[in-house]
């Protein structure tokens, strides 16, 4: 989450960015279900320290993935705007792999038949089934080892993320699914003590930068609502971490319309005593539904950036103000406006939107009692201990602080950014009846010879 503390100076303003970023570290490997520790361009070592994945580790991951990947056969490889996946059939396919394929899942199961977003949810009580539908196509591996669509380059949905979303639906309702990277209370106190000894006329120097980094120390990574060792958690942390690097100017955004907060923040709109906090949150329009509640559509871009000013007290605690700083709000709006393009270029943001879609679907299934309506049981998806589905990663714990600096005027400004908050139950509770939804459900029902997926 974002923290900014300002100090008046008689000379120039140095925009000093203290952000939870780390030097590149190599991907780690473990037991047979430990696919890789490199996800979304980040890695986490055995001590739980988050950092950038090295070029070599990403190259090794891609080679490993390409070697293991099976090409999508026939119609599964063809792009379509409406690929349907039967949850009843998916559950049966997982069980078949357990019983007849030594527990090895086919790629078409692991990658949910190449779905790239969940746009529709259809309930078929007469078939004892729930069907997820949206754009889909065949898959390949990008330069960072992410599995993406063969023509769009956008990340495909993963079975293991869907399973976590379904298994964590009660956590999402009761406490939410969140991720944050925050300075410790003692780190904030140390920082203020260190800065109190810095003269007002001081210029930025390597020694001063290193002193601030040492004062802030390690920052805490917190993941709530989902298993910390899951790929799902990795996506939360990775998106938070990447947003942080882009906001603070450590990485250039791969889209033209999104400059860093460091570049765009003007002295006139920076609040002297407030610290902007940014986070990524759900961004959906009211869900469309049929009158009988058997057909639903997710509408809207899926993700937005939000901000709120906070005040850091002398003892290192944080107080919310309920207000948005103009500079922070402007950057959040830019992040939101460019998210669609950004998610296609920086895959971790596409993966974050995928898991937000899955969380909304999971909340919808639970809230609307869809399993009961369809008389459907999904034991293979509901078992959190199913090692066929879940990869295991080191749990994220800490990130070192590093400083970015630039001249801005007359104040010192220190800032730390980040956060993800998935409030799926609020999204699932906001809907409106749309007459076209009922015939759409009928049009997309399973045809006679379809398996667990169809176009």
The confidence score (pLDDT) of residue 200 equals 56
**Contact, 404 vs 250, CB < 8 A?**
yes
In this prediction, residue 349 carries a pLDDT of: 95
**pLDDT value of position 19:** 47
- Regions of the chain with pLDDT less than 70: 1-40, 199-204, 266-275, 309-323, 402-418
Structure tokens at 45: 């070592």
Q: By three-state DSSP, how is residue 386 classified?
A: coil
Q: Give 73: exposed, middle or buried? Use CB within 10 Å, 0-12, 13-18, 19+.
A: exposed
Name residues whose C-beta falls within 8 Å of residue 176's C-beta, 6 or more positions apart in sequence.
224, 225, 421, 422, 423
Select from 191, 172, 201, 216 the least CA-distant residue to 356. Answer: 172
d(C-alpha 357, C-alpha 359), whole Å: 5
Distance from C-alpha of 287 to C-alpha of 285, rounded to nearest angstrom: 6
**Global confidence as pTM:** 0.88
Measured between alpha carbons, how far is 18 from 432 in angstroms, rounded to an integer? 44
Q: State the Cα angle at 43 between 149 and 279, rounded to 5°.
A: 75
pLDDT computed for residue 3 by the predictor: 33
pLDDT score, position 247: 85
pLDDT tens for 344-377 read 999 999 999 999 999 999 999 999 999 999 999 9
Distance from the first to the final alpha carbon of the chain: 41
Q: How far apart are CA 374 and CA 292, in angstroms?
A: 13
42: which 2 tokens? Answer: 């980040």
Check if the beta carbon of residue 342 is closer than 8 Å to that of residue 374: no
User: 55 exposed, middle or buried (CB, 10 Å; 0-12, 13-18, 19+)?
Assistant: exposed
Structural element, H or E, at residue 29: none
Q: Do 99 and 141 touch, CB atoms closer than 8 A?
A: no
The predicted pLDDT at position 18 comes to: 47
């Amino acid at each position: 989450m974002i923290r900014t503390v300002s100090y008046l100076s008689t000379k120039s303003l140095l925009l000093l960015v203290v952000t939870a970023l780390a030097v590149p570290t190599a991907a780690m490997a473990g037991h047979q279900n430990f696919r890789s520790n490199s996800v979304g361009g980040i890695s986490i070592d055995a001590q739980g320290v988050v950092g950038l994945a090295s070029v070599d580790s990403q190259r090794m991951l891609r080679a490993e993935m390409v070697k293991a990947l099976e090409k999508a056969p026939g119609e599964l490889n063809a792009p379509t705007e409406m690929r349907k996946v039967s949850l009843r059939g998916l559950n049966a396919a997982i069980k078949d792999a357990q019983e007849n394929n030594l527990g090895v899942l086919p790629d078409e199961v692991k990658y949910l038949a190449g779905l790239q977003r969940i746009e529709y949810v259809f309930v078929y009580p007469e078939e004892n089934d729930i069907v997820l539908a949206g754009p889909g196509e065949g898959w390949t591996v990008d330069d960072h080892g992410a599995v993406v669509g063969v023509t769009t380059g956008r990340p495909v949905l993963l079975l293991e993320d869907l399973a976590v979303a379904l298994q964590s639906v009660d956590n999402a309702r009761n406490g939410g699914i969140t991720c944050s990277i925050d300075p410790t209370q003692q780190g904030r106190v140390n920082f203020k003590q260190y800065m109190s000894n810095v003269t007002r006329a001081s210029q930025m120097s390597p020694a001063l930068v290193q002193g601030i980094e040492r004062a802030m120390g390690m920052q805490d990574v917190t993941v709530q609502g989902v298993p910390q060792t899951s790929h799902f958690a990795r996506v939360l942390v990775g998106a938070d971490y990447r947003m942080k690097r882009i906001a603070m100017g450590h990485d250039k955004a791969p889209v033209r319309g999104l400059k860093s907060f460091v570049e765009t923040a003007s002295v006139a709109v920076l609040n002297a005593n407030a610290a902007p906090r940014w986070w990524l949150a759900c961004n959906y329009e009211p869900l469309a539904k049929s009158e009988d509640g058997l057909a639903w559509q997710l509408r809207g871009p899926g993700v937005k950036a939000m901000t709120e000013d906070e005040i850091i007290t002398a003892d290192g605690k944080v107080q919310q103000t309920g207000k948005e700083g103009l500079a922070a709000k402007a950057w959040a709006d830019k992040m939101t406006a460019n998210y669609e393009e950004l998610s296609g270029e920086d895959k971790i943001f596409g993966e974050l939107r995928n898991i937000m879609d899955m969380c909304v679907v999971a909340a919808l299934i639970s809230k609307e009692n869809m399993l009961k309506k369809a008389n459907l049981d999904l034991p293979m998806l509901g078992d959190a201990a199913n090692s066929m589905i879940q990869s295991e990663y080191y749990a994220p714990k800490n990130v070192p602080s590093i400083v970015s600096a630039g001249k801005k005027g007359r104040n010192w400004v220190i800032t730390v950014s980040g956060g993800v908050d998935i409030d799926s139950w609020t999204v699932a509770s906001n809907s409106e009846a749309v007459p076209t939804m009922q015939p759409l459900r009928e049009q997309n029902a399973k045809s006679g010879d379809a398996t667990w997926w169809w176009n």
